[in-house]
Amino acid sequence: MARPRKAQVEGAGSNAAPVRLVRDHGYIETRFNRGCYRWSAGEIITNPDEIAHLRERGAELEPVECPEQPQTP
């Protein structure tokens, strides 16, 4: 698997904005036969590492607004 370009790595920091999958995305890991991975259309992804991984694999993503975080006393 190709390594992400430096610009992509910089954009995938801890402040990466959440994204939504436009279409179902999945693949079968063939190198080590470790399983089948699937994401459903409409699923919101907030993990920066997962977002970077999906971009590397060509998933079609769209940005979403951050939901407001409830304030704790």
Q: Bigger pLDDT: 30 or 50? A: 50
pLDDT at res. 2: 45
pLDDT at res. 4: 44
pTM confidence score: 0.64
The values of phi and psi at residue 19, to 5°, are: -130, 160
Q: What is the mean pLDDT of the chain?
A: 79
**Residue 45 pLDDT > 80:** yes
Cβ-contact 68, 33 below 8 angstroms: no
Per-residue model confidence as pLDDT tens digits over 21-41: 999 999 998 888 788 999 999
Cα dihedral 41, 43, 48, 50 sign: negative
End-to-end CA distance of the chain: 46
**Interatomic CA distance for residues 56 and 45, integer angstroms:** 15
